[in-house]
Structure 1
Amino acid sequence: MRRPARLVRLAVPALTAGLLLTAAPPAQAGQPTAEVVTTTRHDDRSVALTFDDGPNPPDTHRLLEVLREHHVKATFCLWGDHVREHPEVARAIARDGHTLCNHTMHHDDMAGWTPEQIRADLEATSAVIREAVPGAHIPFFRAPYGSWGQTPEVAAELGMQPLGWALAVGDWEPPGTDELVRRVVDGVTPGAVVLMHDGGGDRSQTVDAVDRLVPLLREQGWRFDRPAKTA
């Protein structure tokens, strides 16, 4: 079950803490670092859509249809337990060419976990994803609730770039499709990674919002991109 109150409380300070990790020595070009990425690959009017807590039929299937219709590629941060329950949906995500992200096995708050505990969870989650999608490339990791703790360093060691966000629209409430559309249109900034959800509850409002947002943002000169591997 999601814990919305905790997400609201932890997301901003945890993300700020993640951004401070830029003081770490830089890795080789193209290698993951412990920096929490919140931007797209380009600084222009581009935006990256990311979806947490799936796979979750039927909302994920319908979201995939919407993204396919609008020719948009997104990033799906997969909850290991849900992948195990719905491997066919994980395969559908990969088959459509979307980027996969490790979102832990049980969606626990890892702020106080040891590196050994974190590593065991992340490895188990990636193994479940690859059981559903053989040979899956998993370039990103996102901490539940934005509660990073020591997860960025461990994720980078496992070959995954920590993925944060620049805009969280609060669709876990849920506030209604019109309000979700307004929050994205009013809050999006150049190069922003946007956090939404396709799992963790009824996400039909989110899917409806995405269907309206994509053409609306394109009319305003925005284009859809992938998250950056490093900022």
Structure 2
Amino acid sequence: MFSSANSRRVLRLTVALSALALALGTAGTAQARPGVSTAIIDTARGDGNVVSFTFDDGPNPADTPRLLDVLRRHHVKAVFCLQGDQVEQHPELVRRIAAAGHTLCNHSMHHDDMSTWTPEQIAADLRQTSAAIRRALPHARIPYFRAPYGAWGQSPAVAASLGMQPLGWRLAIADWETPGTDELVRRLEEGITPGAVVLMHDGGGDRSQTVDAVDRVIPVLKSRHWRFTLPETGC
């Protein structure tokens, strides 16, 4: 018969082994929350000529307010992929984006390449970014995550486990090249295909050309019976 001391040792050992088994069984896995998946979405909702406009690296006081005015005037809703350090500098713009009915996206804290990061490092950054957004806008809904540079690494699974759908794109117009408004309009008109998620920028530099191009191309697309929708979710 075991003594009470031996029984306590066995109990402690059993608990420790159970905890180890649980840790080994879950290490390296990230379970997507209901309503999201680990798939990187690049498709707009709906059928036919639908398109989603998304804007990265803001908010930026030089260009984001004018972009918001353009989208309001044309009755278009978009996704704004917010960079955490920009959010901390310009929280009033986060509130203005949300008040205008646009959708928020986590775009990391400092726009770092996460492709070689561990899941723990990625999760810490995404949580820090979402916390910054929610300091600016308490209870903000953040349904998407976009990896800086499209360097995804292990971030899709981590983002999905935090309730954010990984958001990619079908068309990037390379507006960081600042090739001129006419060229950006051409890239949009010729590059958009049915269901495309389009990557543009309202931050990270002078984005006045992008804002001007968006202002010009929306009426053209609407005249051709295009509809502006949000990106799909993975489920």
TM range (shorter): 0.7 to 0.9
Aligned mates of 1:190, 1:104 — CA distance in 2: 28
Cα distance, 1:31 vs structure 2:
1.4
Does the CA-based 8 Å contact 2:38-2:234 persist in structure 1? no
1:55-70 to structure 2, matched below 5 A, reads: 55-70=59-74
**Cross-structure match for 1:159:** 163
Aligned mates of 2:131, 2:124 — CA distance in 1: 11
Cα distance, 1:58 vs structure 2:
2.1
Which segments of 5 or more consecutive residues in structure 1 lack a partner in the other structure?
Answer: 1-25
1:52-201 to structure 2, matched below 5 A, reads: 52-201=56-205
Q: 1:58 is aligned with what amino acid? A: A
Aligned mates of 2:125, 2:108 — CA distance in 1: 6
Aligned mates of 2:32, 2:181 — CA distance in 1: 41
Residue 31 (str. 1) matches residue 35 (str. 2): yes
Aligned mates of 2:178, 2:93 — CA distance in 1: 23
State the SS of the aligned residue for 1:145: helix
Residue 223 (str. 1) matches residue 213 (str. 2): no
Larger Rg: 2
Task: Select which of 211, 216, 220 maps to 2:215.
Answer: 211
Does the CA-based 8 Å contact 2:143-2:164 persist in structure 1? yes
Cα distance, 1:221 vs structure 2:
1.6
String of CA shifts for 1:82-130, please: whole Å, max 9, x gaps: 0000000111000101000000000000000000000000000000000
The number of residue pairs the alignment matches comes to 206
State the SS of the aligned residue for 1:194: strand
Aligned mates of 1:94, 1:188 — CA distance in 2: 26
String of CA shifts for 1:113-161, please: whole Å, max 9, x gaps: 0000000000000000000011100000000000000000000000000
State the SS of the aligned residue for 1:172: helix
Cα distance, 1:44 vs structure 2:
1.2
TM-score (norm 2): 0.85
State the SS of the aligned residue for 1:104: coil
Cα distance, 1:43 vs structure 2:
3.0
Task: Select which of 42, 49, 64 maps to 1:45.
Answer: 49
Aligned mates of 2:178, 2:136 — CA distance in 1: 30
TM-score (norm 1): 0.87
Cα distance, 1:215 vs structure 2:
0.3
Which segments of 5 or more consecutive residues in structure 2 lack a partner in the other structure?
Answer: 1-30
Cα distance, 1:223 vs structure 2:
1.0
The list of structure 1 runs, each at least 4 consecutive aligned residues, that deviate by more than 4 angstroms after superposition, is none
**Cross-structure match for 1:19:** none
State the SS of the aligned residue for 2:175: coil
Cα distance, 1:27 vs structure 2:
6.5
State the SS of the aligned residue for 1:193: strand
State the SS of the aligned residue for 2:177: coil
